[in-house]
Chain A
Amino acid sequence: MSKRQVREAIEGYLFLAPNLLGFLIFMAVPLVLSVYYSLTKYDLLTEPTWVGLGNYIQALGFTIQGGIVQPNDAFFWLALGNTAVYCGGVLLFTIPIALLAAWLLNSKIQGITFFRALFFIPFVASIVGVALVWFWIYKQQSGVLNTIISAVIQVLNGIGLRVQDPNIGWQTDSQWALFSLIVMSSWAMIGYDMVIFLAALQGIPKQLFEAAYVDGASRWLTLRKIVIPLLSPTIFFVLVTNTINVLQVFSEPYIMTQGGPANSTMTIVLYLYRKGFQRFEMGYAASLAWIVFAIIFIITQIQFGLSRRWVYEE
């Protein structure tokens, strides 16, 4: 290396130093330790004891007892199932509504900036604060939602229909609690997706629409043949980033339902938190964290694989 190259190399590392130091201490070291902890039984205070793959077998494994297959950790599977339902639900609500809103907004009619800001506010608002507010919306006795439903039912009964007030325990009935969380989280995420969709829509050249219009294509045809294909890379991107975020849900069930009722809103990260910081099974919690990572990794890989079939590339 020439003298100048050596000097440049030194300068490069000097500039990178603060960043790299932080990266090493607060990312690289914890990553390595995390792998190690996940292979041990560890309570943070005494020395870890090596258990090999024991934690992973405990979480993922099954035992056959008297001809019946039993999961080693039924709670883990319950939490995983809840998280899967939650994730699917949020994506199903969020993406279509965000697309619709972006599509409506992407027009000459005034007010894009206003509506965009309005839709985005739930996303920037503290989810903990938001969850407290929704707690009172969902509250069974004298909550907002049930008050509205009761009022509507009174009107219906007033015109001669006989409808019973369901008085749903949105957070206290195990059939409804997870659904309630899905609706709230979708509400908080729609604006984020909409902003991305809107930017993509605005990137579609106007000439394409003009050409379609001149050719006499219907709106529906334009939507199917122009908008959706050109938007498909964005839909894919949103799908992947949303999945990564949603799978890590924690604050919403922690604040609103504490995982209940009857564990119906116990999510995988909430379960991890309980195991680690309430029962001090740190080794087991670390293995759960890696399982979360593996799930995220596998799902995004599958999404990448499938995307070749439906994502339109220019």
Chain B
Amino acid sequence: MFGQVERTTLLQRAIFYGVMSLLSLIMIYPFFFALSTSLKDSPEVFKNIMALFGERLRFDNYVTVVTAVNMGRYTINTAIVAVGVTIGQIITSILGGYAFARINFPGRDLIFRLYLGTIMIPFVVIMIPTYKLMLVFGWVDKMQALIIPWMFTASGTFLMRQFFAGMPKELEEAAVIDGTSRFGILWRIFVPLAGPAIATQGTLSFLYAWNSFIWPLVAIQSKVNYVATLGLADIQGGYHAQPPLVMGGAILAILPTVIVFLLAQRYVVEGIATTGLK
């Protein structure tokens, strides 16, 4: 089975598929349950929570979730935040990673070591002072509090630096002789080659930003600026008697990350397998 050499017997295959099917069922059931519940009405849920379907599929629940429960607004806000953070992180990581990898400047190695040193620091350590900064900047309860402080990432810079450092030196030399500027070299030679690394970094940033919770909880108060995770925490309290709406909200918050993951699966898996970055 693990030997990859022996031919697998029928029994072994049966065991393999048996165990994997059971584990898969456990992995997927909660999502299935959420989806099925989101398409029932509350009495149907309370009557038999295990039933796959109610009397009919109530897709109109989602209209309620998007409008009355306001998840539509929260989802748009989340998308703005996640896209802003992702683009910001990609730009700063490419520029910084390139500088660390390919340009000689005094203090470079020291600064790089300081960057590395901060990767292990939990966010809660800087959460209170960052909140204080938001007060000083007047960003409390504003969307920029969720975007701008997150546009810089030591781990992303590290990832890009490692990628650029591994590229052959001849790449630049020819361009330097041609008189191409540094930026031209980065933009026309390195960035196109860095596609996979950028995709990895971008997907991980997006997933992380989309799912972040503790910082929005601290930084945002007004419902107009809520992101999906805050909206969900709110629904949990306010719609206790209406599980279909709660599950509909959960599905709306979860679905975009699952879609992004499935599209960029190769990069996510590669990124995590090689760096273990979250």
Contacts and interface: CB of A to CB of B under 8 A. Distances in A.
A116 to B, nearest CB: 7
A136 B49 contact: yes
B8 to A, nearest CB: 7
A313 interface: no
B46 interface: yes
A129 B253 contact: yes
Contact of B254 (A29, A130, A192, A272): A130
Contacts of A210: 5
A254 B230 CA distance: 12
Interface string B102-114: 0111101001001
A128 interface: yes
Given A23-B115, A27-B126, A128-B229, A213 B24 contact: no
Contacts of B276: 196, 237-238, 241
Given A20-B96, A132-B232, A133-B31, A227 B126 contact: no
A31 B250 contact: no
Interface stretch (A53-61, A71-79, A292-300): A292-300
Contacts of B99: 12-13, 15-16, 19
Contact of B129 (A30, A120, A297): A30
A16 to B, nearest CB: 4
B273 interface: yes
Contacts, number: 302
B5 A206 contact: yes
Contacts of A153: none
- Interface SS majority for chain A: helix
B133 A26 contact: yes
Contacts of B199: none
A306 interface: no
Contacts of A254: 213, 217, 233
Contact of A31 (B6, B20, B111, B125): B125
A219 interface: yes
A199 B30 contact: no
A122 B27 contact: yes
Contacts of B243: 136
A159 to B, nearest CB: 21
B1 A115 contact: no
B259 to A, nearest CB: 10
Contacts of A201: 2
Nearest to A244: B120
A126 B13 contact: no
A19 B152 contact: yes
- Interface SS majority for chain B: helix
Contact of B30 (A29, A133, A200, A251): A133
A126 B255 CA distance: 9
Residue of A31, A97, A285 with most chain B CB atoms under a 10 A cut-off: A31
Contacts of B232: 126, 128-129, 132, 255
B103 A126 contact: no
B105 A12 contact: yes
B125 A9 contact: no
Interface in A274-292: 276-277, 282, 285-286, 289-290, 292
Given A125-B254, A289-B127, A16 B100 contact: yes
Contacts of B17: 109
A262 B14 CA distance: 46
B96 A132 contact: no
B154 interface: yes
A86 interface: no
Nearest to A283: B128
B39 to A, nearest CB: 14
Residue of A12, A196, A222, A255 with most chain B CB atoms under a 10 A cut-off: A12
B4 interface: yes
Interface string B227-249: 01100110110000001001101
A174 interface: no
Given A124-B258, A147-B50, A104 B1 contact: yes
A13 B16 CA distance: 55
B224 interface: no
Contacts of B268: 120, 124
A34 B125 contact: yes
Interface stretch (A62-70, A137-145, A162-170): A137-145
Contacts of B33: 133, 136-137, 144
A130 to B, nearest CB: 7
- Enumerate the 7 nearest inter-chain pairs by beta-carbon distance, A residue then B residue, closest first: A12-B105, A22-B152, A19-B96, A199-B273, A33-B129, A30-B126, A30-B129
30 contacts: A9-B105, A15-B98, A15-B103, A15-B182, A16-B105, A18-B92, A18-B96, A19-B157, A29-B129, A30-B129, A31-B126, A33-B129, A100-B19, A101-B20, A106-B4, A119-B24, A120-B265, A122-B27, A126-B210, A126-B228, A129-B249, A132-B246, A132-B250, A134-B30, A147-B49, A195-B272, A196-B273, A248-B124, A251-B213, A282-B128
Interface of A: 5, 8-13, 15-20, 22-23, 25-31, 33-34, 37, 44, 97, 100-101, 103-109, 111, 113, 115-122, 124-130, 132-137, 142-144, 147-148, 187, 190-192, 195-196, 198-201, 206, 209-210, 212-213, 219, 222-223, 227, 237-238, 241, 244-245, 247-248, 250-251, 254-255, 269, 272-273, 276-277, 282, 285-286, 289-290, 292-293, 296-297, 300
